[in-house]
């Protein structure tokens, strides 16, 4: 069985399950989905994250140039890597830290 995400304007609208009998290739499955009357762009997503970053979910985003699904950008200064993960401009130190976008630094957090 395979999973396909409906993508419109870069946003995932829904994810459907398609059984193996629908086709052997991604193109076969897309043709099957279209034959059911579903329009839009359908892109295969993988639970094991072997391709296309994260497993797609409603409201997530698809980056065509990186060919990956990802969550919303958490902060303006963060960058998206090829695996669909957002990274801060500097590495997070060990311990309890929270990103401060205003200063663009990690701020230590008190642990109770």
Over residues 33-79, the pLDDT tens digits come to 888 888 778 999 999 999 999 999 999 999 999 999 999 999 999 99
pTM of structure: 0.80
Residues 25 and 52 in one domain: yes
Residues 51 and 26 in one domain: yes
Residues 16 and 61 in one domain: yes
**Which 8-state DSSP code applies to residue 24?**
S
> Could you give the number of structural domains in the chain?
2
Across the range 10-15, mean pLDDT stands at 94
Residues 66 and 111 in one domain: no
Residues 28 and 45 in one domain: yes
Q: Containing domain of residue 64, as a range?
A: 1-72
Residues 40 and 79 in one domain: no
Residues 85 and 58 in one domain: no
C-alpha span between 55 and 3 (Å, rounded): 9
What's the confidence (pLDDT) of residue 23?
63
Residues 109 and 63 in one domain: no
Residues 23 and 52 in one domain: yes
**Of 9, 3, 46, 43, the residue nearest 27 (C-alpha):** 43
Residues 19 and 53 in one domain: yes
């Amino acid at each position: 069985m395979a999973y396909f995400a409906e993508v419109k304007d870069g946003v995932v609208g829904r994810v459907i399950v398609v059984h193996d009998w629908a086709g052997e290739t991604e193109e076969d499955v897309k043709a099957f989905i279209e034959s059911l009357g579903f329009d839009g762009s359908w892109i295969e997503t993988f639970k094991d994250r072997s391709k296309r970053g994260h497993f797609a979910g409603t409201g997530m985003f698809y980056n065509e140039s990186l060919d990956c699904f990802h969550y919303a950008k958490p902060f303006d200064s963060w960058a998206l890597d090829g695996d669909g993960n957002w990274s801060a401009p500097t590495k997070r130190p060990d311990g309890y830290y929270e990103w401060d976008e205003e200063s663009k630094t990690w701020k230590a957090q008190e642990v109770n």
